[in-house]
Amino acid sequence: MRIATWNVNSVRLRTEHAVAWLKEAQPDVVCLQEIKCQTEQFPREPFEALGYNVAVHGQKGFNGVAILSKRPLEDVTNGLAGDDSDVQARFIEAVVSVPGGVVRVCCIYLPNGNPPQTEKYDYKLGFMARLKAFTESRLKLEEPLILAGDFNVIPDARDAADPAAWVEDALYLPRTRAAFREIINLGMTDALRATSDAERLFTFWDYQAGAWQRDFGIRIDHLLLSPQAADRLIGAGIDKHLRALERPSDHVPAWIDLKMAA
């Protein structure tokens, strides 16, 4: 079973890219972030034509998340609990039935948080605290759980081509990385790092200053697995080649393969 995450940076602008990639990679479940459209404006038809069920939590012009699944999506929940005043579309959760049980998938578009000296960074840290509490509650279910998405967190120096360039950025501040580690330390596994020690495993290259051409990237798109999901992990990777397309997203897909019961 392949589960992927991709900040598509406007699904309506990248529908053609997304459809071509889905045909190529054949993921069973896909978490999309920054779809940048209202729920009813999501271009469902091209994805449904490929056999995907679609669940969307959209927002006009900004943010927005969606889950695509070749299996039915059940118990779909929009929004991250813990702050009733938060109206930003950054979280959607669904259960996917698989042979032998279920997989719980959460699609996350964590706030950027810049500039750090503003309420935007407070919102980021508050969101991460809520995500930690949510993860704690879901781990009690003792089922395969995947937190997938654009976390806007550079976990470690090796996750940036030039760590020094990010020391004052909300993506790499010590408090950001500490909050991310708190989630990991609940018992979650960073799937990519569990399967590879390779260098320069990046998922994002800015549009500015020739970042892609210089491979000046960072890794901020993650798949975090509960113990029950990590036990099934057989592979993980990054589809870097999509960044070289014409008019690409500044992110590329990351994915995992899980071995499910026959």
Q: Which amino acid is at 12?
A: R
Q: CB-based burial of residue 120 (10 Å sphere; 0-12 exposed, 13-18 middle, 19+ buried)?
A: middle
7 annotated ligand binder: yes
- Enter the DSSP assignment of 111: -
> Which of 150, 159, 221, 257 is an active site residue?
150
Q: Dihedral, CA atoms, 181, 185, 191, 193, nearest 10 degrees?
A: 60
> Which of 17, 28, 57, 109 is an active site residue?
109
Q: Is 150 a catalytic residue?
A: yes
Are the beta carbons of 86 and 80 closer than 8 angstroms? yes
For 61, 104, 191, 249, 256, the CA distances from 147, given in Å and listed in that order, are 24, 9, 10, 21, 12
239 annotated ligand binder: no
Other CB atoms closer than 10 Å to residue 199's CB: what's the count? 8
Q: Is 84 a catalytic residue?
A: no
251 annotated ligand binder: yes
152 annotated ligand binder: yes
Beta-carbon contacts of 186 under 8 Å, excluding residues fewer than 6 positions away, are: 132, 135, 136, 139
Q: Is 251 a catalytic residue?
A: yes
Q: Residues comprising the binding site for Mg(2+)?
A: 7, 34, 150, 152, 250-251
Q: Residues comprising the binding site?
A: 7, 34, 150, 152, 250-251
The residues that are catalytic are 109, 150, 251
